[in-house]
Amino acid sequence: MILTCASWNLLKGGIDAGDDARMRRQMRRIADERPDVVMFQELNDWDRDGQAVLHRAEELLGGMRGFLAPAERGFHLGVFIRESAGLRVVRTRHDNRRPFWHGAACVITEASGFGRLVLASAHLAPASTVTRLAEAEAFKLIAEAGPSISGGDWNAVPAGDPEPARPGRDPEHERRKLDRAPALALEASGLTDVAAHLRNLTPTVGYSK
């Protein structure tokens, strides 16, 4: 079985002052790639009006099924699945309790010809190295639910990436982002950094449109 997966932090749900035009552009951009699974972060306001934005996104993504995981701070997470790719949803197991700052969306599926497959989206703490490490360590409980594919905004450098350039606008905040302990904890839980495995260190930040 071959699955195409994507992950994207939409930046406040792709909604600017009530205008969802950016969200629509983002969904169309993703739809062009025909992914089977998409992990989203920062789905702000997607829970309003009966999850109207989520259902709009399902339509824009060509009929994918979306699962929203509420976050107390409003930066909701989501996992979208193309059931026609051979994925049958068994149950959801979202978590927004401590130690998670935002939360983790978790959808447990049965994949045709493969078996149990856990799909998760995470958004680790933006500033606290202590919280981020605790979140990464807690992710082991998700990994233990079965073979998994996880995507997210990890808010820290990967374990094996070279030291990134630092623009110097907020040195203390940047210093905290350079902490590799969360990435090491994720590796210890059995997760593999796909980009590092493929030796592709292309930056994955800075694309909001």
* Distance of alpha carbon 57 from alpha carbon 63, whole angstroms: 9
For residue 68, what pLDDT is reported?
A: 97
Over residues 84-102, the pLDDT tens digits come to: 999 999 999 898 888 889 9
Give the residue with greater pLDDT, 30 vs 156: 30
Residue with tokens 């401590």: 98
For residue 209, what pLDDT is reported?
A: 56
Q: Which two tokens stand for residue 60?
A: 């824009």
Global confidence as pTM: 0.90
For residue 127, what pLDDT is reported?
A: 84
* Distance of alpha carbon 112 from alpha carbon 110, whole angstroms: 6
- Beta-strand relationship, 103-111 and 148-153: unpaired
For residue 97, what pLDDT is reported?
A: 84
Over residues 43-64, the pLDDT tens digits come to: 999 999 999 999 999 999 999 9
- Of 111, 87, 92, the closest CA to residue 103 belongs to 92
- Of 109, 43, 44, the closest CA to residue 81 belongs to 109
Mean pLDDT taken over the chain: 89
For residue 156, what pLDDT is reported?
A: 81
For residue 63, what pLDDT is reported?
A: 93
Which strands make up the sheet holding 65-69, listed edge to edge? Answer: 5-9, 37-41, 77-81, 65-69
Percentage of the chain modeled with pLDDT above 90: 59
Over residues 142-191, the pLDDT tens digits come to: 878 889 999 999 888 887 777 777 666 777 777 777 888 888 888 888 88
Residue 16 DSSP one-character state:
B
Average confidence (pLDDT) over 15-35: 96
Phi, psi of 103 (to 5 degrees): 145, -175
Q: Which two tokens stand for residue 42?
A: 């920062």
CB atoms within 10 A of CB 30: 21
Over residues 64-87, the pLDDT tens digits come to: 999 999 998 999 999 999 999 999
For residue 202, what pLDDT is reported?
A: 77
For residue 67, what pLDDT is reported?
A: 98
